[in-house]
């Protein structure tokens, strides 16, 4: 026999052995998850970095600038927009 056929036979034996191990493990440890059940969504968390903490201490915010402006500021911005047209 050539080394190619021996390799193929050994590969087949390894595959069959792995399949037998997988079957034995499935019987010993049945799958608890029902098939077709809904998958929970991933929860993404963000650990604040040193830069995030510095920005927060300096008053940085993720709020849009429109929420910070009062009526007076909005009137000024609108007037500037009108004049620039």
Q: Which residue has the tokens 């080394």?
A: 3
Cβ atoms within 10 Å, residue 69: 13
CA dist 66 and 78 (Å) reads 12
Confidence of residue 17 (pLDDT cuts 50, 70, 90): very high
pTM of this prediction?
Answer: 0.34
For the residues 34-49, what does the mean pLDDT come to?
77
How large is the average pLDDT for residues 32-42? Answer: 70
């Amino acid at each position: 026999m050539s080394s190619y056929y021996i390799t193929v036979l050994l590969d087949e034996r390894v595959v069959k052995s792995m399949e037998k191990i997988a079957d034995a493990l499935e019987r010993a440890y049945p799958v608890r998850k029902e098939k077709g059940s809904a998958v929970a969504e991933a929860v993404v968390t963000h650990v604040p970095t040193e830069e995030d903490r510095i920005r927060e201490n300096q008053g940085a915010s993720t709020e849009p600038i429109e929420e910070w402006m009062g009526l007076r500021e909005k009137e000024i911005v609108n007037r500037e927009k009108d004049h620039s047209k």
